[in-house]
Amino acid sequence: MDVNVKAGKDDYGFGEQTPVFHTVNQHANTCIDTMQLLISKAPTCR
């Protein structure tokens, strides 16, 4: 499974989250440590 595949987008433009985004941004930020780890390892966007 490609973890970078985006979800579909609805008629209002909502959607296109990746599985990783969806996982770490749910459940009242209980995964905030995981989110911070992933952000710290991400390449710098310029």
| Structural domain boundaries in the chain | 13-46
44 pLDDT above the threshold of 70:
no
pLDDT band at residue 35, thresholds of 50, 70 and 90?
A: confident
Does residue 17 contact residue 6 with C-beta atoms inside 8 Å?
yes
CA angle, 24 then 10 then 25, to 5°: 10
- Residues 21-38, mean pLDDT to the nearest whole number: 76
**pTM for this model (two decimals):** 0.43
Question: CB under 8 Å to 20, separation ≥6 — which residues?
Answer: 3, 4, 38
Write out pLDDT tens, residues 2-18. Answer: 667 788 899 998 888 88
Q: Is the dihedral of CA 42, 22, 6, 9 positive or negative?
A: negative
pLDDT score recorded for residue 37: 80
